[in-house]
Chains A and B, each alone.
Chain A
Amino acid sequence: MDRAGKLVERTIARNLKGLDFLTMPPAKVGLTPKEVLYERGTLRLYHYLPQADELYRVPILLVMATTNKAYVFDLAPGQSMVEYLLKEGFDVYVIDWEPPLPEERSLSLADYTQDFIPTCVQMVIDDSGEPDLSIVGYCMGGVLSLIYAASHTDGPLKNLVCLTTPVNWAEMGLTRIWSDEKHFDVDRLVDTLGVVPQDFVQASFEMLRPAQKSASQIRVWEKMWDDEFVKSYRAFDRWGNETLPLAGEYFRDTTKELMWANKLYKGNLVVNGKTAKLSDIKVPIMAAMAEHDHIVAYKASKPLMDLVGSEDKEEIVLKGGHVSLIAGPNAVRRMWPKLAEWLGERSV
């Protein structure tokens, strides 16, 4: 077909599909079959039903960032890290978060790392019947996993994977500048609001790339004829708009202990009376970073490998951004196979 014909065809398709696009219900996400294993307040622990005839011995626990929903691990069939891992023969559990309620304002960093994660780890151990497990943490979920690992060195953790996980918070770019203690009164914010609202969290992400939303909308209009592109856009768009509010004390802890004092990086973080030194982590560890990550800059996650005490450690740096690392085309081609290969070797 000549170029003019193709243009006309796409214009017609764009107009017809554009109307559907505006009236469609939200994209269906998180379709891989799962069961709720445990729920308490903001915390959810899911177990995905195995999809292979034979499983690796060691189960995997994915820990989602507290700012977003975990269905980014399971956006759509064929675009799902969970589905990929299940088909590769892993037994997969996921920690997800619901928006914390006003009465959960007092949940702190200690609650997440010394109560929620250990409870879920125990649930996975009990459910799988295995004595150990691998943890895969994404973004802030990686930070929580690192703090858990560093403060539970005699626990059942066998392998640890950190995906786009900030360690040196001094390198957090604009986020660090905006939340500088000179201007940002975190106590006033938390004491007044209790739970940090969803709008605030979402705005702080969107301000990092202010033109991104408009440019994406223009792009999807232009590509309205391409069903696969639209399907993927709708799933990502829904996920991006479902940012979660944050429990106030947790936000205060994160700001003061991690962002301002940079204690995880400096090795003097104490949570609930327990020291969380990265050098105490000795289990095999892999870190995956994105070259063009605008949320967690490469420089912020880079020092992890030098700080942990593990002998078996590997770092991979992939092209792409913060989200495409785990759910974009590059994730499908490179990150997921690498993750499955690395974990497979250590899951017998």
Chain B
Amino acid sequence: MADKQTDPAETFAKLVSDWERNFDSMANKIMGTDEFSQSMNQFQNLQLAMQKRFNEAMAQHLLNLNMPSRDDILRLGESIRSVEKRLASIEATLAKKKKKKTDKGGGKKPPRTKLPPSMRSKQRHE
């Protein structure tokens, strides 16, 4: 018992855990205030505003150069996605048909006959 109390590794581990708990608790108190939330979001809004300006300027440059903007590429991507969705549904239908054929061929799968322990013991008693 005395050995355990003075084990330096355990003392160190406890020290780390205590520090973690205290630091998190203190930080959570500060971060849980309305003021913190407000300033964090203000900073984020500032960053987003700068990014928006940059995006708009870049889109204008690309337009002047007669090149597609990020939005144009994304719109293209979105229409590819809708084609992909249709393709996936066709593939799924084909896979379903193929599976039906394979199942008929007798693909080995474990039987779905398992019972929970409570029902098994009941069956045994009967």
A interface with B by C-beta (< 8 Å): 3, 7, 10, 38-41, 50, 52-57, 89, 91, 101-106, 119, 123, 126-127, 129-130, 173-174, 177-178, 180, 182-185, 188-189, 192-194, 207-212, 214-215, 218-219, 222, 341, 344-345, 347-348
* Contact indicator A55/B110 (Cβ below 8 Å): yes
A189 lies within 8 A of B44 (CB): yes
Residues of B contacting A7 in the complex (Cβ-Cβ under 8 angstroms): 8-9
- A-B residue pairs, 5 tightest by C-beta: A103-B77, A344-B116, A215-B20, A183-B41, A211-B23
Report the minimum CB–CB distance from A177 to chain B (whole Å). 5
Instruction: Determine if A211 and B110 form an interchain contact, defined as CB atoms under 8 angstroms apart.
Output: no
A222 to B8, CA, bound (A): 11
Closest B-chain residue to A210, C-beta based?
B27
| Count, chain B residues at interface, CB 8 A | 54
The answer on a CB contact under 8 Å between A185 and B81 is no
Task: Confirm or deny: B94 has a beta carbon within 8 angstroms of a beta carbon on chain A.
Answer: no
Listed by A's residue number, 8 A-B pairs whose Cβ atoms lie within 8 Å are A56-B112, A57-B113, A101-B77, A103-B74, A103-B80, A210-B23, A210-B24, A211-B23
Q: Does B13 contact A (CB under 8 A)?
A: yes
- CB of A103 within 8 A of CB of B110, answer no
Contact of A102 among B74, B96, B114, B115 (CB under 8 A): B74
Q: How far is the CB of B11 from chain A (nearest CB, A)?
A: 11
Shortest distance between the CB of A193 and any CB in chain B (Å): 7
CB atoms of B74 and A50 under 8 A apart: no
Binary contact track B82-126/A, C-beta < 8 Å → 1, others 0: 001100100010001001000100000111111111110000000
> For chain B, what secondary structure do more than half of its interface residues adopt (helix, strand, loop), or is it mixed?
helix
- Complex CA gap A104/B82 in Å reads 10
If A52-B114, A185-B41 touch, whether A222 touches B31 (CB-CB below 8 Å) is: no
Question: A192-B51, A212-B20 are known contacts. Are A53 and B78 too (CB-CB below 8 A)?
Answer: no
Partner of A174, one of B17, B28, B77: B28
10 more A-B residue pairs beyond the given contacts A103-B80, A222-B16, A348-B114, with a C-beta to C-beta distance below 8 A: A40-B88, A103-B81, A177-B32, A185-B41, A189-B48, A210-B23, A210-B24, A212-B20, A345-B119, A348-B116
